[in-house]
A and B are shown apart, each in its own frame.
Chain A
């Protein structure tokens, strides 16, 4: 620990303190704590440590962009050291995962040294760093398990994990209160989290993560995690998030009263934080390769369908084996999306949308034998499905979903029924969509959050431009194909001209020219394919994804609407009470008071839910933006490289032709 801490964030007081001993202690604490917590309230305890760890990295990432950091300057100073290292959040994250895994084994053994060693090597950068503070926090938490837990929970809810930082500073409660004061919206917990996150992000102590991770792992291993997710044990980072989530889920129902909300919030918050952490980690260390291959037509006539081979290669322990293959048909992919969006959309997650159904394209495939356009259609769909699955599993919280695992692993899936466009279920879905659209029109949200206000506008604009760009790239693809076809025709024509030319040298040169044009035709064709698969499909994907982002915004708006409705209802109930008071009807007064209390609770709950979904959506959007930037850069560079390659080939062809032309006598 010490070594690691020193390397990454030299000026780390917190990290130094925990050091090796602390790590080991932490592990011990964590264990004890977990056991205790389990006794008391197993879910929160187990969840907490992992949450912290996870939260930290997440926070860091998020906080950087947001620049929310306000509170706890002290910690920041300490922690800030790591931040510089954390330039590449993604990379760092991956590293941390590795560290964590290593750490896990170590914590159990209680050998801090190995962890430290691993850490520096793997992830010296920063995200990892953030984790360490968590560990320290955890230690504190372990000491005061219950109290800490509550605090953590509160913090976790809104911004996910901020709590950790406060812990290092000393009394978690104080920290929280401070945070709250900072935050405008949520007096209690929500505001704090943002602050905390910011702080954490700044601090992000490198050495700590190992300890924290170890502790979390240990916790997970020892506690419920195994039960819940057998997989969890293997990969610390991933597992812990899963566990947390599960725990959270379990906890969530409990939330109702103001006091309870903390716990509930904590449970939810941790899940989020975990997810975030997972995301980060997954980006970096992501060890899950999915490929969709071998499209195969099954059956005949209009009942025929295409089945794809979905192969997964992974070292993630959540899966039963390292490599496995299943066959899935298109509607299975759609079914997966249905399941995922049903579960996660309402929480504000961006669920990657699958490629659209294409009745025309598929009918062609069904009817046509082997014509090139249907082959292209199949390949296009295959590639789109592959990208879709990759996006799903790269989302930390979606990866944890049992349906995803089932989809990847299970031999036989129940046939997805509701995906058929013309089925009764499809009709119902259309109805729902229509009502959604109507309600969207009617909800006039008074946007308080400037960030959301701008972001929603940005996404709208971006989608519009992307659509425009997509149309143009499609047109380029078409023109390039046309060019390719015309070049081929011209090449043939020149070959004919060459054959009828009676000057030998000129005739030869013309047939050489025909050959050059033939090759160029190939080149154009390849380039058109590149235009399409690397550029156009990227845009199509992101147009769909932006739609999903907008869906998240809508979910948030719905939550807001619920909250506002409850607020109005409460207002009405209060008026009734006032009237009753005035009318002096004590018998009904009690009932009115009860109703007010009920609605007050509801308002608090809905408000909290709104805050939660806002925080989630925000994180999701930030994650999405990051991924988008990465995707676009990667794909466009790839595209430019394909262009470069074309030009190189072109030069080769013409260089070969030039002497032929000069040889004409």
Chain B
């Protein structure tokens, strides 16, 4: 919120909404929307915002993960500001933990800092036995921005109504993406804050408290290349490690399950995206049909024209509902699947680390046997074997609990989202039905 207040260009959704209804808004307004857009998730009250998100969304943000609420550390993103090439999130913390200087404070963080935090978890040996909460995806407004820009360029070639309508749609789309981005960053923080071990991480505390720029820079080319090679090695190794038969039935089962589950959830996520995209296109078509019917209806004042106007009005309303259906499916279904795609990847990574440790342990055992046989470097081999054993056991111990938690969280999240999805679908279908019924009543009464 504070950030939003400081920036003169920032747009609160309600403000945006107001501006949208202003038909005379021009190019500059468009660009101002593009350059900065400020949303405060806490009180943005979707009711005054665009209609593409349902009210249900107003509740706690961490919709996709079931988090034990713990009053000792509560984190949320109270505000966010979209600038031309970056998004600034205001991270707000409330805590009774003694290692914070204050009980309540806010800092401004960017996406790169979230990634840094995530990477620091991943790289830490200490957390090898835990499912590291998946990092939020990079904000991607490029497509939406491009469309807005194109609209601005094509302003002269369309009618005022068309332009206003298109602009509304694009802004709504932009806002939707923006909100989703904010939500995903928040989910990450909440997951960390709720994690019994990760919440105590020093880097996390710095991230929350240090009110200066963390000077995290993006990875340079060399580092990226290194990352790439690491990934190649890791996935090759992963295949190797996965081929090793696990001694523990629980992990063996989890391994096969996760491998399959991850692939399937990936597939479902892609498919749901496609489905929702075509649903949106259909809603757009209805919108365009409505406006053409409107022009047809205003041609004349005959009976038929009045009829057209009524139908146009109906389509205008149903397309809103249709668009909402698509948006809600996106929110409740596609986002859920996407989150579990990343989370299952994180769980897989955990299993990989454990599998790696197991292989290391077995190798150390072999090396120890060899050393004993040769009676050479026995002590060193024993130490290595000890270390590997400890590491493996430690990972196994925490990993078991983590995987059980993962399952509990997953079931709860699916339950919540599927129930909400069904309720929303019902709500929209009923709304649609009512619209159609009343419109048909009027039309039939007329004819």
A500-B260, A513-B418, A661-B419 known; A479-B285 Cβ under 8 A: yes
Q: How far is the CA of A641 from the CA of B264 in the complex (A)?
A: 38
A493-B268, A647-B433 known; A486-B414 Cβ under 8 A: no
Q: Of all chain A residues, which has the CB nearest B277?
A: A486
Check B281 against A469 for contact (C-beta < 8 Å).
no
Check A469 against B292 for contact (C-beta < 8 Å).
yes
Residues of B within 8 A of A651 (CB): 426, 429-430, 433
A interface secondary structure, majority = helix
For the complex formed, measure the closest distance between the CB of B378 and the CB atoms of chain A, giving whole angstroms.
44
For the complex formed, measure the closest distance between the CB of B313 and the CB atoms of chain A, giving whole angstroms.
12
B261 within 8 Å of A (CB atoms): yes
Check B261 against A500 for contact (C-beta < 8 Å).
yes
Check A664 against B414 for contact (C-beta < 8 Å).
yes
For the complex formed, measure the closest distance between the CB of A200 and the CB atoms of chain B, giving whole angstroms.
23
Check A640 against B436 for contact (C-beta < 8 Å).
yes
Check A637 against B264 for contact (C-beta < 8 Å).
no
B265 within 8 Å of A (CB atoms): yes
Check A637 against B299 for contact (C-beta < 8 Å).
no
B314 within 8 Å of A (CB atoms): yes
B304 within 8 Å of A (CB atoms): yes
For the complex formed, measure the closest distance between the CB of B273 and the CB atoms of chain A, giving whole angstroms.
9
For the complex formed, measure the closest distance between the CB of A41 and the CB atoms of chain B, giving whole angstroms.
43
Q: How far is the CA of A641 from the CA of B436 in the complex (A)?
A: 8
Q: Which of A475, A647, A664 contacts B436 (CB 8 A)?
A: A647
A650-B425, A658-B423, A661-B419 known; A472-B292 Cβ under 8 A: yes
Check A658 against B440 for contact (C-beta < 8 Å).
no
For the complex formed, measure the closest distance between the CB of A311 and the CB atoms of chain B, giving whole angstroms.
29
Q: Please name 6 further chain A to chain B contacts, defined as beta carbons within 8 Å, in addition to the given A480-B282, A490-B268, A513-B418, sorted by A numbering.
A: A469-B293, A486-B271, A489-B274, A625-B302, A644-B433, A650-B425
Q: Mark A634-651, 1 if CB is under 8 A from B, else 0.
A: 001100110110011011
Q: Which of B260, B281, B429 contacts A650 (CB 8 A)?
A: B429
Residues of A within 8 A of B304 (CB): 625, 628-629, 632-633
B311 within 8 Å of A (CB atoms): yes
Q: Mark B276-305, 1 if CB is under 8 A from A, else 0.
A: 011101100110110011011001101110
Residues of A within 8 A of B46 (CB): none
Q: Which of B268, B422, B426, B447 contacts A637 (CB 8 A)?
A: B447
Residues of A within 8 A of B421 (CB): 661
A566 within 8 Å of B (CB atoms): no
B432 within 8 Å of A (CB atoms): yes
22 contacts between A and B (CB under 8 A): A462-B296, A465-B299, A473-B289, A489-B275, A490-B271, A493-B268, A497-B264, A500-B260, A505-B411, A632-B307, A637-B443, A637-B444, A637-B447, A640-B311, A640-B436, A641-B440, A643-B432, A647-B429, A648-B433, A654-B425, A655-B426, A662-B415
Residues of B within 8 A of A490 (CB): 268, 271-272, 274-275
A383 within 8 Å of B (CB atoms): no
Q: Mark A469-499, 1 if CB is under 8 A from B, else 0.
A: 1001101100110110011011001101100
Interchain pairs with CB closer than 8 A, number: 157
Q: Of all chain A residues, which has the CB nearest B321?
A: A647
Check A640 against B447 for contact (C-beta < 8 Å).
no
Q: Which of A640, A648, A657 contacts B440 (CB 8 A)?
A: A640
Check A664 against B444 for contact (C-beta < 8 Å).
no
Residues of B within 8 A of A496 (CB): 264, 267-268
For the complex formed, measure the closest distance between the CB of B166 and the CB atoms of chain A, giving whole angstroms.
14
Q: Of all chain A residues, which has the CB nearest B425?
A: A654
Residues of A within 8 A of B299 (CB): 458, 461-462, 465
| Smallest CB-CB A-B distances: 5 pairs | A476-B285, A664-B415, A661-B418, A483-B278, A490-B271
Q: How far is the CA of A655 from the CA of B285 in the complex (A)?
A: 28
Select the residue from A462, A472, A625 with max chain B CB neighbours within 10 A. A472
For the complex formed, measure the closest distance between the CB of A373 and the CB atoms of chain B, giving whole angstroms.
19
Q: Which of B278, B307, B426 contacts A486 (CB 8 A)?
A: B278
A502 within 8 Å of B (CB atoms): yes
Residues of B within 8 A of A296 (CB): none
Would you list which residues of chain B between 351 and 365 have a CB under 8 Å from chain A?
A: none
B407 within 8 Å of A (CB atoms): yes
A632-B307, A637-B440 known; A658-B271 Cβ under 8 A: no
Residues of A within 8 A of B277 (CB): 486
Residues of B within 8 A of A643 (CB): 318, 432, 436
Residues of A within 8 A of B407 (CB): 502-503
Check B411 against A506 for contact (C-beta < 8 Å).
yes
B229 within 8 Å of A (CB atoms): no
Residues of A within 8 A of B282 (CB): 476, 479-480, 483
Q: Which of B271, B275, B295, B311 contacts A483 (CB 8 A)?
A: B275
Residues of B within 8 A of A489 (CB): 271, 274-275
A543 within 8 Å of B (CB atoms): no
Check A479 against B278 for contact (C-beta < 8 Å).
yes
For the complex formed, measure the closest distance between the CB of B433 and the CB atoms of chain A, giving whole angstroms.
4
Residues of A within 8 A of B264 (CB): 493, 496-497, 500
For the complex formed, measure the closest distance between the CB of A513 and the CB atoms of chain B, giving whole angstroms.
7
Check B419 against A482 for contact (C-beta < 8 Å).
no
For the complex formed, measure the closest distance between the CB of B307 and the CB atoms of chain A, giving whole angstroms.
6
Select the residue from A503, A636, A655, A665 with max chain B CB neighbours within 10 A. A636
Would you list which residues of chain B between 390 and 447 have a CB under 8 Å from chain A?
A: 407, 410-411, 414-415, 418-419, 421-423, 425-426, 429-430, 432-433, 436-437, 439-440, 443-444, 447
Check B275 against A486 for contact (C-beta < 8 Å).
yes
Residues of B within 8 A of A465 (CB): 292, 295-296, 299
Q: Which of A475, A506, A655, A658 contacts B414 (CB 8 A)?
A: A506
For the complex formed, measure the closest distance between the CB of B346 and the CB atoms of chain A, giving whole angstroms.
18
Q: Which of B260, B318, B426 contacts A654 (CB 8 A)?
A: B426
Residues of B within 8 A of A466 (CB): 296
Q: Of all chain A residues, which has the CB nearest B308?
A: A632
A501 within 8 Å of B (CB atoms): yes
Q: Of all chain A residues, which has the CB nearest B279?
A: A483
Would you list which residues of chain A between 221 and 261 have a CB under 8 Å from chain B?
A: none
Residues of B within 8 A of A480 (CB): 282
For the complex formed, measure the closest distance between the CB of A497 and the CB atoms of chain B, giving whole angstroms.
4
B257 within 8 Å of A (CB atoms): yes
Residues of B within 8 A of A665 (CB): 411, 415
